[in-house]
Structure 1
């Protein structure tokens, strides 16, 4: 199953839905790409994949950022509408029941990095550069960057990246936790697909519970978080796939997870 608009293509292979950004010259996140992202997520809502893989069809670019040319030709109301459409697309991606993996091979800047951070995990090629340069334009990251980056790398590193607008190498991004795996240059999509395959081998309800519980750690006290953890594991035992997983372990067979 597959589909496309003029700047985004998607195809599903079993439990993995691959979304490819393809708007030359640099995948600027203008209205055409944001509309395409929403269309791909509509498809994902209907087809219920286990993992979303997000990559680029353009060599050297994941996404270079927001569409600056578009922003210079719109008024304040249109600027807000443009931002709202982009933000809602990234919010849908971040909240989607499927896990998501961004494959970064090249530049991921501004809105492009914000798109990658909306994914559950990130794999980057060794030559990739990542950054949030909005302060150099008199702006701040406005599609979740000020909120998601500190949760990934901590306050100090996030301020360093956003206040300077500098670009990070893949090695530094891996070291501080901005990306999760690094691949040889040109191999990020293959490495991200391998990660997606690994993720497909586990229980989806358990994976979603892991994500919810880890995210709760940023908003709850340790005591409340521990109680929430108990609620999650109890729910998995009563209503999730824990019974199948435990039985399969005892019977020395592969579990039949959804």
Structure 2
């Protein structure tokens, strides 16, 4: 058995961390990848990473989903423990104080799609395929899939994807809002890194406020959401980096955000 780590991370400079999954043959989300992702997130938080790019080194696979062999060997209590650990990592990615980008080539199924949906943005190569096929196992998605997919693509499309267990091609995923960038096959990582560099140069408080305020649109009535938006922009003006951004614009120079 290989002793090579299945999750590694590399500093790409300018506050960008590249996290790579490498557990052949399919990057199944068993304990090794879950533990590795947990360690990578801890590293990102400790190093004050601004943008995290999540990618795969396994050809044809982003993440194929849960480790079915592992699930076939556990009892109910162990199934609960496994699900709790997976959910903790997925929610940890979603809640991290950074921008995350999933660079997806090949299949992202089940927990793999749930992991990708927890990222702030998704870049998909043309060979990418997406699905939540848990009904074929007599289950439903259990790491946020039933909640995040409808928020991205709408109720009807989400039920269609989950109930039929079909795989959605990258072109359709882009058309329905499941992915943010649809690029040529084999270029998702490079495009994600370019995007990470662009985002990493912007105001971190402003980026975080964009994500918070957009998320609030799904959780609050419109009048409450509008009030939240006002509070966010006022906070940025008084305590964020708006002073530097405005000064740089007036002085016709690039801003120097912290």
TM-score between both structures, scaled by the size of structure 1? 0.97
Q: Distance in 1 between matches of 2:41 and 2:178?
A: 24
Alignment of 1:174-189 (within 5 A): 174-189=174-189
- Corresponding residue for 2:7? 8
Query: How far 1:5 sits from its partner (Å)?
Result: 7.0
Is 1:5–1:36's contact at 8 Å kept on the other side of the alignment? no
How many residues align structurally? 255
Q: Distance in 2 between matches of 1:97 and 1:210?
A: 12
Q: Distance in 2 between matches of 1:119 and 1:148?
A: 11
SS of equivalent to 1:115: helix
TM-score between both structures, scaled by the size of structure 2? 0.97
- Corresponding residue for 2:113? 113
**Unmatched tracts of structure 1, length 5 or more:** none
SS of equivalent to 1:218: helix
- Corresponding residue for 2:200? 200
Alignment of 1:201-220 (within 5 A): 201-220=201-220
SS of equivalent to 1:87: helix
Is 1:61–1:108's contact at 8 Å kept on the other side of the alignment? yes
SS of equivalent to 1:140: coil
**Unmatched tracts of structure 2, length 5 or more:** none
Question: Relative to 1, partners in 2 of residues 1:47 and 1:5: Cα closer, same or farther, differing over 3 Å?
Answer: farther
Render the CA deviation track for 1:41-92: whole Å, top value 9, x for unaligned. Answer: 1101110111000000111100000000000000000001001001000101
Q: Distance in 2 between matches of 1:191 and 1:184?
A: 10
Q: Distance in 2 between matches of 1:154 and 1:99?
A: 23
Alignment of 1:8-47 (within 5 A): 8-14=7-13, 15-47=15-47
Q: Distance in 1 between matches of 2:118 and 2:143?
A: 9
- Corresponding residue for 1:231? 231
- Corresponding residue for 1:151? 151
Q: Distance in 2 between matches of 1:38 and 1:118?
A: 14
Q: Distance in 1 between matches of 2:72 and 2:239?
A: 52
Query: For structure 1, which segment, 55-64 or 196-205, has the greater mean C-alpha deviation from structure 2 after superposition?
Result: 196-205
Alignment of 1:39-118 (within 5 A): 39-118=39-118
- Corresponding residue for 2:251? 251
Matching of residue 130 in structure 1 with residue 130 in structure 2: yes
Q: Distance in 1 between matches of 2:27 and 2:12?
A: 24
SS of equivalent to 1:254: coil
Q: Distance in 2 between matches of 1:89 and 1:6?
A: 17
Query: How far 1:182 sits from its partner (Å)?
Result: 1.0
Q: Distance in 1 between matches of 2:224 and 2:237?
A: 20
Q: Distance in 2 between matches of 1:44 and 1:190?
A: 20
Q: Distance in 2 between matches of 1:115 and 1:134?
A: 15
